[in-house]
Chain A
């Protein structure tokens, strides 16, 4: 049998990789990809806790589905913003997007 620790450590590693992507990438789309990795690792944690600690209740899966819906909404708005910025500034490098700066 697989102990829960395997899933948790895998999810932690995936989260760390996603965090690195968010912090280190220049491109705004690549940053969104890092966020997706982090959200997915959280989902694995939620489902693993549901399966190992409380499989009778359905709460863990419902929580994971809500995370899925929020991730879909977030990526739709994020990509729309990126396209809008690209039209205005012709760049999607995060460092060059400084229209809100004084």
Chain B
């Protein structure tokens, strides 16, 4: 076992445990805090996959923006968040079975894939993947159009969010 594999296993166990706590904990604020731990574990995986920019974006966008937004919403709807009743609906066992089937199915299909045990090719030290990514996102031969479409989508979503959540005066 290499140190990298040990780090992977520890991180995977922590992240999966936190994910299970997200979907099972009764108090929604606790669920949001466990969600932050999941996001952080995933940022660690991005670092292990040599995707430094994505790891930083994960921390800034998911932990810094999305998780905080969720905590704000939980606080704005506080009375419901603290309700003492069951947090799972009456068909939760069906969801559990479906999730297990999904996991088993994905794993089964993956084990029949021929390159399942591929190890990572070494990236030459001269390549700068952050720079490559930056150039790729703004060059017309690269991903300029999807990048701009994503910007428009974000603006539309934010305007829509303001319109939907605005207090309606009667």
In the complex, the answer to whether B154 meets A68 with C-beta atoms within 8 Å is no
Q: Does B84 reach chain A (CB closer than 8 Å)?
A: no
Interface of A (DSSP majority class): helix
Number of residues on chain B facing chain A (CB within 8 A): 88
Interface size on A, residues (CB 8 A): 73
* In the complex, chain A residues whose CB is within 8 Å of the CB of B120: 1-2, 4, 51-52, 55
CB distance from B59 to the nearest CB of A (A): 12
* Minimum C-beta distance from B100 to chain A (A): 7
A37 to B102, CA, bound (A): 15
CA distance A66 to B54 in the complex (A): 11
Give every chain A residue within 8 A of B154 (Cβ-Cβ): 69, 72-73
Give every chain A residue within 8 A of B153 (Cβ-Cβ): 69-70, 73
Q: Can you spell out 10 A-B residue pairs with CB atoms less than 8 angstroms apart?
A: A2-B5, A2-B48, A3-B119, A21-B23, A30-B28, A37-B35, A48-B49, A58-B142, A68-B61, A76-B69
Interface residues of A (CB under 8 A from B): 1-10, 12-27, 29-30, 32-34, 36-37, 40, 43-44, 47-48, 50-53, 55-56, 58, 61-62, 64-66, 68-77, 79-84, 86-87, 91-95
